[in-house]
Amino acid sequence: MNLRASQWKTPPGSPIERPADHAIHLWRTRLIGTEPQYEAARGVISATEKARADRLISPTLGRRSVFAFAFLRLVLARYLPVEPAAISFETGPFGKPFLPDGPGFNLSHSGDTALIAVGAQGSEIGVDIEEVNPKRATHDIAARFFAPEEIAELAGYAEGDDRESAFFRIWTRKEAFIKAIGKGLAQPLDSFAVSADIHAPRLTCSRIEHEPADAWSFGDITAFEGFEAAVCARGRIQTLSGFTA
């Protein structure tokens, strides 16, 4: 299941019906804005979120973080009977934000881009977006982060653009999976493997107890030129809809 560049739409008016089981809504935005837009974004985020953004090492990263926190609240509020500033997040044992009575969701940002995946209530979903930076697609990085099956599959791609694209498909699918299960890097990255195949995003093996590889589905997302992105969910993914905020 893929979401291509041409499939992004203007969102419908609020409120938006929550996605049905096996449906995922994706939201994309650029984390940039004018001074008034920045002040408006600060106005909807929490004191904790503001403090986290203000602690970041550069003003650019701080501003992007403010826009990302606001983006998440503004998107989720479309599905909820509450104002963006009134949303109260809970956090899982490994830091994954969730809403006990709201839709399943997950946020990812890279550079000045951000993506949010929204699913049915209780759905376990993860999303990841990464800037395609050839300097990172090295054998050393793959050896450090990828499972043996992934390193072997990657070696089957021709050196150059093909291997670089395969590298970022593996990277984003891996990240989307560890974010879907909510463990982040507490989940050892060699405890499972994802495919690099452009046509068949999937878990190729799982060494995680009680997590068979076929319990999870993936979608590839073309959201911004120069970025690779993937979404992962427990169960089937039947439809992907994309909205540009």
Ligand X SMILES: CC(C)(COP(=O)(O)OP(=O)(O)OC[C@H]1O[C@@H](n2cnc3c(N)ncnc32)[C@H](O)[C@@H]1OP(=O)(O)O)[C@@H](O)C(=O)NCCC(=O)NCCS
State yes or no: residue 126 binds ligand X (CB under 6 A): yes
State yes or no: residue 94 binds ligand X (CB under 6 A): yes
Q: Which stretch binds ligand X (CB under 6 A): 23-31, 38-46, 167-175, 199-207?
A: 167-175
- The encoded tokens of residue 113 equal 């881009």
State the minimum distance, in angstroms, from the CB of residue 150 to ligand X: 9
Q: Which stretch binds ligand X (CB under 6 A): 56-64, 132-140, 182-190, 224-232?
A: 182-190
Name residue 69's amino acid: F
Between residue 184 and residue 243, which ones bind ligand X under the rule CB under 6 A? 184-185, 189
- Residue of the chain from 109, 113, 194, 228 that contacts ligand X (CB under 6 A): 109
State yes or no: residue 123 binds ligand X (CB under 6 A): no
- Residue of the chain from 29, 70, 84, 108 that contacts ligand X (CB under 6 A): 108
**C-beta atoms surrounding 11 within 10 Å:** 16
**In sequence order, what E strands does the chain have?**
2-3, 8-9, 23-30, 90-91, 97-98, 103-110, 113-121, 125-131, 192-194, 203-206, 216-221, 227-234, 239-244
- Residue of the chain from 68, 75, 154, 166 that contacts ligand X (CB under 6 A): 68
Ramachandran angles phi, psi of 83, nearest 5°: -75, 155
List the one residue out of 89, 86, 87 whose CA is nearest residue 97.
89
SS3 110: strand
| Cα–Cα dist 94/87, whole Å | 20
Please, which residue, 82 or 189, has the CB nearer to ligand X? 189
Give the interface with ligand X as residue ranges (CB under 6 A): 68, 94-97, 106-109, 126, 128, 145, 171, 174-175, 178-179, 182-185, 189
